[in-house]
Chain A
């Protein structure tokens, strides 16, 4: 994952720590990652905004942004990638906002999922389908 200057600046403003998930011997599945993040809590809706393009202009670098006011952690998953884990962002008490933007690589058309863990341990989730297309016939 390439961190651009703009992403780095956002990181600075947000005051979060981004930790790429450790390289596992086997890719953890979406279910495993979800279970580990949520601790089994059911995910609700609302309170989290995931912004991603409907159709990727370049599947190798797709800009996504996630915002979840009040979150202590946000996990981003590319559910159709061989390795679905993208990143988990954690926010300390001094964080001015709970927002992160990055660019991810998508192997094919798939749902990108963001989950946020709130201070009370509750989980909210948002998903967005990003299409990776061959294109070429717009008129």
Chain B
């Protein structure tokens, strides 16, 4: 008799062989120049339960460019495993073809040329078409949103998330969890949550005063005779990575023991399937499902990884659905006798030139943008270089931002947060105000300027590096390394905290950083209350207006070893 585990493995293997993951076909289709909506959506219905997962949309209502990372180092047990595989290695691991649509969607190489061939990705009107198509085939499909939805654009900032709330409600989301949502402040979050037609889940969100659960931990769906528990897990490091003073009533944390309790509780209620809708990040989720027993499917988010096949940990499948609306995951499950017997999965790429926009959603989006349209679309300058952020160290957008900070704020050193959101601009394109907001939008964007000693700078670099390169995933907060301007350093990612950073220098002169000496430092996204300075997007806009056309020198200020 085939065991459940063997069945799952057989199913993964079968998907690779007959190409039902959907990725095997793309190259051939592209070669035939026949990439069509029908083919992108093609899916042989399987089993009796369908989950649809979107996550980390970061308020990108319109199609975008988003270059996947070139450097995404994995440490400890995650070294060399997805999602810490990029470029040619990724193409090889998943048996893709260089230059194919999937290579464009999932990796960074030849991004500019492939982008011009295959076009922008995402757009919530295209996502709506995909969701409608899945629901036409499977009316009882459950649409789940992994969070980082209400934040990340100028319109979401100006409407305090309302534009995204309206779009996600229209899309038919049935449960969500959260991260950047909280940066609108707890009052605004609670105001929105009261009006949501679905639960805002977070088994790990606790009341600070009472140390007791503050939000619904899970919800139970009954679909086609199957009872499905969906447990929410919000971003664990909310008050550490983002300003805790904006939501002082709440405590977060991984709370592994709490997750096990909640799984046991829903299992005790006799559910047939347990799904975790998580914003832990990929590595944290991989560790958690190896330790918490009883989760069938974990829909991961936060670290923005798009992985074309489910990752199997024990009997649990881990699904990573990318970011910025580039992908929608469809997961069909065969659930019988209270057990998951098998799955079929497809990471559906949202090629905006191939998938027809849904007319209703398109008009909702345009209505929400109309009051701001002139502000959004005003060109500020142009770029000769590809501007992107994602990756463990500075992207070109970060280089431009750090230049703007140093120039406009007259600082020796610029610091810019290693967030994983921020869209891409192709060479030759105009930089609009909306583009600047897409890489900076936030409720704590004041660009401070002060003095820091060399010792403090080292402490900051070491501390942030440990949030990425600590070999225990539970100590990883899921961002990338803090971006620097005017500062050069070496980093050995294999070392422990306090020993990773060395050879810190002023990049312009090569002068070694003196621990006791003070330097002028400007940056943004401070988590401290009362931070003063102009908004970062205004600083960047002023700089781009002065230079007109962006042209960047290659940045060689960070030397990485220990990989």
Interface residue B254 (Cβ < 8 Å from any Cβ of A) = yes
Do A55 and B251 touch across chains, with their CB atoms under 8 A apart?
A: no
The docked-state distance in angstroms from the alpha carbon of A136 to that of B526 is 7
Do B417 and A136 touch across chains, with their CB atoms under 8 A apart?
A: yes
B434-469 residues with Cβ-Cβ distance < 8 A to A are 459-460, 463-464, 466-467
Interface residue A39 (Cβ < 8 Å from any Cβ of B) = no
The docked-state distance in angstroms from the alpha carbon of A54 to that of B174 is 31
B156-211 residues with Cβ-Cβ distance < 8 A to A are 179, 209-211
Contact residues in B for A45 (Cβ distance below 8 Å): none
Contact residues in B for A131 (Cβ distance below 8 Å): 466, 475
Do B240 and A138 touch across chains, with their CB atoms under 8 A apart?
A: yes
Do A6 and B211 touch across chains, with their CB atoms under 8 A apart?
A: yes
Do B241 and A137 touch across chains, with their CB atoms under 8 A apart?
A: yes
Q: Which among A55, A63, A101 is the interface contact of B240 at CB below 8 angstroms?
A: A55
Q: Which among A57, A63, A136, A138 is the interface contact of B478 at CB below 8 angstroms?
A: A138
Contact residues in B for A109 (Cβ distance below 8 Å): 497
Do B479 and A138 touch across chains, with their CB atoms under 8 A apart?
A: yes
Evaluate whether A134 and B459 lie within 8 angstroms (CB atoms) in the complex, with A57-B244, A57-B251 already known.
yes
Do B242 and A134 touch across chains, with their CB atoms under 8 A apart?
A: no
Interface residue B283 (Cβ < 8 Å from any Cβ of A) = no
Interface flags, B463-501, vs A, CB<8A=1, else 0: 110110000101101111010000000000000010000
CB distance from A89 to the nearest CB of B (A): 18
Evaluate whether A54 and B254 lie within 8 angstroms (CB atoms) in the complex, with A133-B467, A135-B240 already known.
yes
A10-25 residues with Cβ-Cβ distance < 8 A to B are none
Q: Which of A49, A129, A131, A139 has the most CB of B within 10 A?
A: A139
The docked-state distance in angstroms from the alpha carbon of A137 to that of B240 is 8
The docked-state distance in angstroms from the alpha carbon of A137 to that of B466 is 11
Interface segment among B92-100, B312-320, B418-426: the answer is B418-426
Q: Is the interface of A mostly helix, strand, loop or mixed?
A: loop
Do A137 and B417 touch across chains, with their CB atoms under 8 A apart?
A: yes
Do A139 and B418 touch across chains, with their CB atoms under 8 A apart?
A: yes
Interface residue B215 (Cβ < 8 Å from any Cβ of A) = no
Complex: chain A residue closest to B390, CB-CB: A139
Interface flags, B198-241, vs A, CB<8A=1, else 0: 00000000000111100000000000000000000001010111
Interface residue B252 (Cβ < 8 Å from any Cβ of A) = yes
The docked-state distance in angstroms from the alpha carbon of A42 to that of B460 is 39
The docked-state distance in angstroms from the alpha carbon of A58 to that of B474 is 17
Q: Which of A5, A57, A137 has the most CB of B within 10 A?
A: A137
The docked-state distance in angstroms from the alpha carbon of A133 to that of B482 is 15
Complex: chain B residue closest to A9, CB-CB: B210
A97-139 residues with Cβ-Cβ distance < 8 A to B are 101, 109, 129, 131, 133-139
The docked-state distance in angstroms from the alpha carbon of A109 to that of B417 is 23
Do A139 and B421 touch across chains, with their CB atoms under 8 A apart?
A: yes
Do B241 and A136 touch across chains, with their CB atoms under 8 A apart?
A: yes
Evaluate whether A138 and B235 lie within 8 angstroms (CB atoms) in the complex, with A57-B240, A133-B463 already known.
yes
Complex: chain B residue closest to A131, CB-CB: B475
Q: Which among A6, A63, A136 is the interface contact of B527 at CB below 8 angstroms?
A: A136
The docked-state distance in angstroms from the alpha carbon of A123 to that of B478 is 38
Q: What are 26 residue pairs bridging A and B, where the CB atoms are less than 8 Å apart in the complex?
A: A4-B209, A5-B210, A6-B210, A54-B472, A55-B237, A57-B252, A57-B253, A101-B211, A129-B475, A131-B466, A131-B475, A133-B240, A133-B467, A134-B459, A134-B463, A136-B240, A136-B417, A136-B526, A137-B464, A137-B467, A137-B479, A137-B482, A137-B525, A138-B235, A139-B241, A139-B421
Additional A-B contacts beyond A6-B210, A135-B237 (9; CB < 8 A):
A55-B253, A57-B244, A136-B240, A137-B418, A137-B419, A137-B464, A138-B235, A138-B237, A138-B242
Which B positions have Cβ atoms within 8 angstroms of A? 179, 209-212, 235, 237, 239-242, 244, 251-254, 257, 417-421, 459-460, 463-464, 466-467, 472, 474-475, 477-480, 482, 497, 525-527
Across the A-B interface, the 5 shortest Cβ-Cβ residue pairs: A138-B241, A139-B419, A139-B479, A135-B240, A139-B420
